[in-house]
Structure 1
Amino acid sequence: MERKHGTGWRAEARVTLGLAWPLALTNLSQHALAVTDAIILGWLSTEALAAATLGANLYWALMAPSLGTALAAGPILAQARGHGQRAGHGRGWVRQMRRGARSALVASLILLVPSLLILWHAGDLLRLLGQDPGLAAAAGTYVRAMMWGLIPFCGFIVLRGFLAAMERPGPALFVTGVAVVANAVFGWLLVFGVGGWHGFGILGAGLASTLANLLMLGGLLLVVARDRRLGRFRLLGRFWRNDPARLREVFRIGLPISGQMLLEIGVFSAAALAMGGFGAVAVAAHAIALQTAALTFMVPMGIGQAATTRVGLLAGAGDLAGARRAGWVAIGLGAGFMLATATLLILAGRTITGAFLNPAEPQAAAAATLGAVLLTIAGIFQLADGVQAVAAGALRGLKDTSVPMLFAALGYWGLGMPIGVGLAFWAGLGPAGLWVGLAAGLGIVAGLMLARWRRLSRESAAAIA
């Protein structure tokens, strides 16, 4: 292994931070795509924002299966590189990384087919789920334009995992930053138009997102092709060749990741659907609070991705004590950041929500006030959210994904959602009650993930002591 993979808590913190900050900024940039859509559509109308929120929640829920298998590239490639850098392993690890990346992409494309078929009928599905027919129709229009960006987005995620395993996260950050600017420009022009042309409205926001995803994939493909060190992997070379063993590994690791993501995305999507019962103001407030909380979550998610890479590299190299240290360092970094953001959300909630809405809109003041209440609750669960994200990333570095999925099922759906529904509808707390339930679910999952990492990492380190 390279010398920088060496020992020491401070050294590990420096290496993890060096890897995590570009990954976190990449996540923030990716999330900025959704935030940009929310801001543009919020200025279009409260109804447009509410419709896009309903559509986006369905979109992310159906994206989870393919995204999970794309994310499986991260731990697979990190462990392959760590194993290959042991003395005497030659260049076979290059072939293994190529096959791993290719299999992750193939698996994602396979799982995208049913998702795209369902998303094409998003409007009808939302009506069947009891949503307002007008909002459901607008959401369907938005999703039909945005859904085609799923294909390039999954390719981007696989390439990002490859670059993270190579400890080269910078290119993904650069191309995502360019895509954010492009999405803002495309979105504004396509939604509102220019000159005498009035634009496409909510349809334009979906088209802009698809164009941004195409730009991200194209940018990374160009980077990999033009870099001699990265190009030697020939990631798309003989793409049609089948590798059943590697494909099975991708599904074994990736499907539980998909399941965990689906459970987490699904609980927030279910909360958004439940918010529909309280009207457009509640849906818009939920959208603002969720976008803001998700924005802060991008940093611990990046730290968790760095933990996957660091733990995977060290575990693949046989340094399990180092892998344990890497996981704990990452968890500490994630917890520290989320404590700081919790303070910000609690103290500045009203100011944050006001930035999302056009003050001339009749319902803007009510949406901003409710959004501030929800952000206060979000501030309370920030620490738990950060810890569970980083601990899950560390566990993925050990290719442990099935049990964390079960933890998510218990925390989010077994306890969190029932508590939220009970508080919202039976106890009369309304939208705030739903968010209290979400906070409880996150706290339970965080505790279980932390305990799982503590046990597995200690057992692994002790086995070679």
Structure 2
Amino acid sequence: MTAHATLAPLTQAPPPTWAVELRALGALAGPLIGANLLQMAVFAVDVVFVARLGPVEFAAATLGVFFFHILGFGLIGMVGAAEPLIAAALGRRVGAVRQVRRSFRMAMWLAVLGSLVVIAVLNCAAPLLRLAGQDPAVAARAGSFCRVLSLAVLPAVFAALIRLTAAALGRPGWALMVTALALGVAVLANWCLVFGNAGFPALGLEGSALSSVIVSTATCAAYVVILLTDRRLRRYRLLGKWWRAEWSRMAEIARLGTPIALGWMAEGGLFGGAGLLMGLISVAAIDAHAVALNIAAIAFQIPFGLAQAAMIRVGFAFGAGDRAWVARAGNVAIVTGIAVMALSAMVFWAVPHWLVRLYVDPAREGAVASLAVALLGIAAIFQLVDGAQAVAAGVLRGVQDTRVPMLIQIGGYWGAGFGTALLLGFGLGWGAAGIWWGLAVGLGVVSALLIWRWNARERLHLSPHVA
């Protein structure tokens, strides 16, 4: 496929059939899924280099990256609420250029304000980690790591905003190309700065954090160049009049985006909390949890990309006021997400030992390997519900419904999920497997309730007002 074909404009016209909608969804989701998978490789590069620095440095980086990701992804979720507004404006067509520019501009303003808060928290990482009972030496190194890493917050959020905006405007292929560039920069920057190659100073842990800053800045710069040079994107003049305030639009983005941010943080916190529970069992449980979770996270990038694309497709239909199109776009996305994750679940069931061997040598770490294989069997089940809840949340964002889904996520993840993990893992003595069954229960509850809400959208007045 040529670059021109990959970047071809995506129609905002109502598709007449499920097959046409599926093709449109695939054209939009494919590059986003590819970019998500490449982003996982960027994260893996950091892990590979930092792991060689020693256990204290690796633990510090793990805690620091978790801090950064849960706060950063929350902020990206907030400013990403501009995307359903942009998609709806494109669906309405009338005055779309001005509305798109307004939403993008005020999302940028919100990114700046939110980044100041995230940066302040990251600079307080060391005392916060000590309050959480972490080892003082690890907390101190994590604090130093986070101070450098905080410089990556704003360019990372800007890059994510531009990426989704470009996708909504018919240029999803840029996400794949730019993230491939980021992977190359990550390898080179870590190689130079962590161990002092090519004449650079050996900065160790701080070098890894600085490489993340460089990667985020380079990614953001690449997207800015694309906005200024891509013929289709340039017509929207997204960076024009960036100083002009539209307070009502910013408030609308914050109203839609705050629940998205809290929902994402609740899900990330659930898996982080599960890791802490594993630490109460054994070191082997922590390692097996990390291996199985990494494998599951790679598979999750597919429904996550589908959810991003589905939000845009449903947003087009919502803006056009076409209820039949809304239903078709959402249903196609949910069915596709479940079908894809059913395939990944089959792989988890069929060849778990092969997957675990990519991370752990069973001959040397037999306890970790066998437990990771057992956890993958449970992951095969929650793959289905995890994919379903991700896409269902995406289609609901497309109709600008975020507050109740947030309440469902918080209640499902922490009430049903974490509560069941505690009960099964410790109350009934199921150990690590019980904790993962708790994750499956939480994801299942959220999935069922979000799909119910989507199917009940007419009764709940979530469909477009225009017939």
What's the TM-score once normalised by structure 1's chain length? 0.91
- Please show how residues 145-294 of structure 1 align to structure 2 within 5 Å: 145-194=148-197, 199-278=202-281, 280-294=283-297
**Cα distance per residue 1:136-187 (max 9 Å; x no partner):** 3343333333222111111012111211211210112100111012212322
CA distance in 1, matches of 2:438, 2:325: 37
Match of 2:423 in 1: 422
How far is the alpha carbon of 1:2 from its aligned partner? 4.8
The residue identity in structure 2 corresponding to 1:453 is: W
Contact 2:314–2:398, Cα closer than 8 Å, also in 1: yes
Q: CA RMSD in A?
A: 2.6
Residues in 1 aligned to 2:89 and 2:466: alpha-carbon distance in whole angstroms: 20
Aligned letter for 2:21?
E
Aligned mates of 2:138, 2:284 — CA distance in 1:
13
Give 1:23 shift. Answer: 1.1
- 1:374 aligns to what? 375
Say if 1:169 and 1:35 are closer, same or farther in 2 by CA, change over 3 A.
Answer: same
Q: Residue type of the partner of 2:77?
A: G
Q: Which runs of 5+ in 2 are unaligned?
A: 1-9
Higher alpha-carbon deviation: 166-175 or 229-238 = 229-238
Q: 2:26 aligns with which of 17, 29, 38?
A: 17
Gapped runs of 5+ residues in structure 1? none
Change beyond 3 A, Cα 1:108–1:173:
same
Q: CA deviation at 1:243?
A: 0.3
Q: Encode CA deviations 1:253-307: one digit per residue, 9 max, x unaligned.
A: 1111011111111111222233333455443433332222111111101111111
2:291, 2:56 → 1: CA distance?
13
After superposition, residues 327-338 of structure 1 pair within 5 angstroms as 327-338=330-341
Match of residue 66, structure 2, among 53, 57, 68: 57
Asked whether the 8 Å contact 1:122–1:143 carries over to 2, the reply is: yes
Structure 1 Cα separation of the partners of residues 368 and 55 of structure 2 = 9
Q: Secondary structure, in 3 states, of the residue corresponding to 2:395?
A: helix
Question: Structure 1, residues 420-453: CA drift from partner, whole Å, max 9, x if none?
Answer: 1222233333333222211110010000011011
Contact 1:65 1:111 in 2 (8 A): no
Provide the rounded CA distance (Å) in 1 between the counterparts of 2:40 and 2:176: 12
8 Å Cα contact 2:321-2:464 kept in structure 1 = no
Distance 1:462 1:77 in 2: 16
- Residue 30 (structure 2) pairs with residue 29 (structure 1): no
The yes-or-no answer on 1:313 pairing with 2:316 is yes
Q: CA deviation at 1:464?
A: 6.2
The one of 349, 353, 367 aligned to 1:346: 349
CA change 1:184–1:124 in 2 (3 A) is: same
SS at match of 1:130: coil
Q: CA deviation at 1:379?
A: 1.9
1:81 aligned residue: 90
- Relative to structure 1, the CA distance from residue 348 to residue 199 in structure 2 (aligned partners, 3 Å threshold; closer, same or farther) is farther
Output the CA distance in 2 between the equivalents of 1:145 and 1:200. Answer: 12
In the superposition, relative to structure 1, how do residues 195 and 173 fare at CA in structure 2: closer, same or farther (>3 Å)?
A: closer
Q: In the TM superposition, what whole-angstrom CA distance separates every residue of 1:90-118 from its partner, at most 9, and x where no partner exists?
A: xx321111110011121122122222111
CA contact 1:126–1:136 (8 Å) conserved in 2: yes
Q: 1:57 to 1:16 in 2, by over 3 A?
A: same
Kindly provide the CA deviation profile for residues 23-45 of structure 1, in whole angstroms up to 9, marking residues without a partner as x.
Answer: 11111122222222233334554
Contact 1:53–1:287 (8 Å) recurs in 2: no
Residue 7 of structure 2 is matched in structure 1 by: none
Q: CA deviation at 1:46?
A: 5.3
Q: How does 1:137-148 map to 2 (within 5 A)?
A: 137-148=140-151
Shift of 1:365: 5.2
Q: Which residue of 2 aligns with 1:69?
A: 78
Residue 342 (structure 1) shift: 1.4
Cα pair distance change 1:83/1:196, threshold 3 Å:
closer
CA deviations on 1:176-207 (whole Å, 9 max, x unpaired) are 11101221232234333437988333333222
CA gap of 1:358–1:2, structure 2 versus 1, over 3 A, is closer
- The offset of 1:337, in angstroms, is 1.0
How much does 1:121 deviate?
Answer: 2.2
Which range moves more in the overlay, 441-450 or 66-75?
Answer: 66-75
Alignment size in residue pairs: 457
Rounded Cα–Cα distance in structure 1 between residues aligned with 2:307 and 2:390: 6
1:285 alignment partner AA = A
Q: CA deviation at 1:372?
A: 3.2
8 Å contact 1:50–1:287 — kept in the other structure? no
Aligned partner of residue 233 in structure 1, secondary structure: coil
AA aligned opposite 2:248: A
- Give, in whole Å, the separation in 1 of the partners of 2:12 and 2:204: 54
Q: 1:440 corresponds to which residue?
A: 441
Change (3 A) 1:60 1:291: same
Aligned counterparts of 1:115 and 1:100: Cα–Cα separation in 2: 22
Tell me how far apart the structure 2 counterparts of residues 358 and 150 of structure 1 sit (CA, whole Å).
36
TM-score, normalising length from structure 2?
Answer: 0.90
CA contact (8 A) 1:289 1:374 kept: yes
Partner of 2:16: 7
Decide whether the 8 Å contact of 2:362 with 2:369 is kept in 1.
Answer: no
- State percent identity of aligned pairs: 40
